[in-house]
């Protein structure tokens, strides 16, 4: 019995000791579900070339990414919106210096079910739908079907961008259903004939994006900034990554030709 206890303690101390040695070969990414596909593809590409590095990715929302970066719980904060002043102030108050890296361009596509005959809406009409003024598709010239409005949770950068570019600070109706990720909006809209939602460019498969103010959401219109609801995608780090570290290579992957091809393959628009 005594030997057993002594043995367990010894193992625990050893394990703790090894663990205390700084884990230089891990990169923790946390944040936006929009940036998720890019982050996952980058991580896989990088880990393929460097098998000793472990890159873990959480997709809990842009707000969470900022918070984790400030708390020191992650190395890279993926965000689909810029950091707010309150977040930057909070970071400075604990000695964290958030450095912004723009890695891609994205457009928020407003999507409906494939059976919905609607071709396009104006931002004003979208605003009315989301504030609850319009509740049936027939008021927009469509079929007699109640509108199932789907939006993102409040910790989402996509939500914040949508709110500031389309909602113009008006409040979303109470009856809106909230889901936690781009993928979830896509799935709900794909399976519900009366639904409407908004997703990033990479999530347009299987649903019908409609024109906003007459302009379609495609990589082309986003790249040329014609599309009205376009936005950059960010990765934030604490301080500038040192050249030669895995973190540096990962962040700057978006500037290399391979990285650009990856971004295009996932459906987003690479930046120059």
Least CB distance from residue 41 to another protein, whole Å?
Answer: 6
Q: Given candidates 2, 3, 49, 93, which one binds another protein under the rule CB under 8 A?
A: 93
Residues 259 and 255: their CA atoms lie apart, in Å, by: 6
Least CB distance from residue 141 to another protein, whole Å?
Answer: 5
Residues 253 and 269: their CA atoms lie apart, in Å, by: 14
Least CB distance from residue 257 to another protein, whole Å?
Answer: 10
Least CB distance from residue 59 to another protein, whole Å?
Answer: 5
What part of residues 99-128 is at the interface with another protein (CB under 8 A)? Answer: 114-119
Q: Given candidates 123, 125, 131, 187, which one binds another protein under the rule CB under 8 A?
A: 187
What part of residues 36-55 is at the interface with another protein (CB under 8 A)? Answer: 36-37, 40-41, 43-45, 47, 54-55
Q: Output DSSP code: residue 41.
A: H
Nearest residue (CB) to another protein, 181 versus 237: 181
Least CB distance from residue 160 to another protein, whole Å?
Answer: 7
CA-closest candidate to residue 66, choices 222, 271, 238: 238
Backbone angles phi, psi at 177, to 5 degrees: -85, 140
- Dihedral angle of Cα 266, 260, 61, 127, to the nearest 10 degrees: -70
Nearest residue (CB) to another protein, 28 versus 251: 28
Q: Given candidates 153, 213, 249, 271, which one binds another protein under the rule CB under 8 A?
A: 153
Backbone angles phi, psi at 2, to 5 degrees: -65, -40
Binding flags for another protein, 55-84, as an x/- string (CB under 8 A): xxxxxxx-xx-xxx-xxxxx----------
Residues 28 and 14: their CA atoms lie apart, in Å, by: 24
Helix boundaries (H) for 100-151: 123-131
Q: Given candidates 2, 3, 18, 244, which one binds another protein under the rule CB under 8 A?
A: 18
- Residue 61 and residue 156 in contact, taking contact as beta carbons nearer than 8 Å: yes
């Amino acid at each position: 019995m005594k030997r057993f206890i002594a043995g367990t303690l010894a193992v625990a101390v050893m394990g703790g000791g090894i663990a205390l040695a700084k884990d230089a070969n891990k990169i923790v990414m946390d944040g936006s579900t929009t940036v998720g596909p890019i982050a996952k593809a980058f991580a896989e590409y990088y880990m393929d070339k460097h098998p000793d590095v472990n890159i873990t990715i959480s997709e809990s929302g842009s707000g969470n990414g900022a918070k984790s970066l400030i708390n020191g719980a992650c190395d890279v904060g993926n965000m689909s919106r810029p950091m707010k002043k309150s977040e930057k102030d909070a970071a400075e108050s604990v000695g964290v210096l958030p450095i912004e890296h723009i890695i891609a361009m994205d457009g928020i596509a407003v999507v409906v079910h494939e059976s919905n005959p609607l071709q396009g809406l104006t931002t004003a009409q979208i605003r009315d739908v989301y504030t609850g003024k319009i509740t049936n598709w027939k008021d927009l010239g469509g079929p007699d079907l109640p509108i199932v409005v789907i939006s993102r949770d409040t910790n989402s950068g996509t939500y914040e961008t949508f709110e500031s570019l389309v909602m113009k600070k008006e409040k979303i109706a109470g009856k809106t259903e909230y889901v936690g990720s781009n993928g979830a909006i896509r799935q709900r809209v794909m399976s519900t004939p009366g639904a409407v939602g908004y997703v990033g460019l990479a999530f347009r498969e299987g649903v019908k994006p409609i024109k906003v103010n007459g302009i379609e959401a495609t990589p082309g219109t986003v790249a040329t900034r014609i599309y009205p609801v376009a936005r950059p995608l960010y990765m934030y780090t604490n301080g500038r990554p040192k050249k030669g570290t895995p973190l540096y290579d990962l962040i700057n992957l978006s500037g290399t030709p391979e990285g650009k091809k990856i971004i295009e393959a996932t459906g987003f628009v690479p930046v120059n």
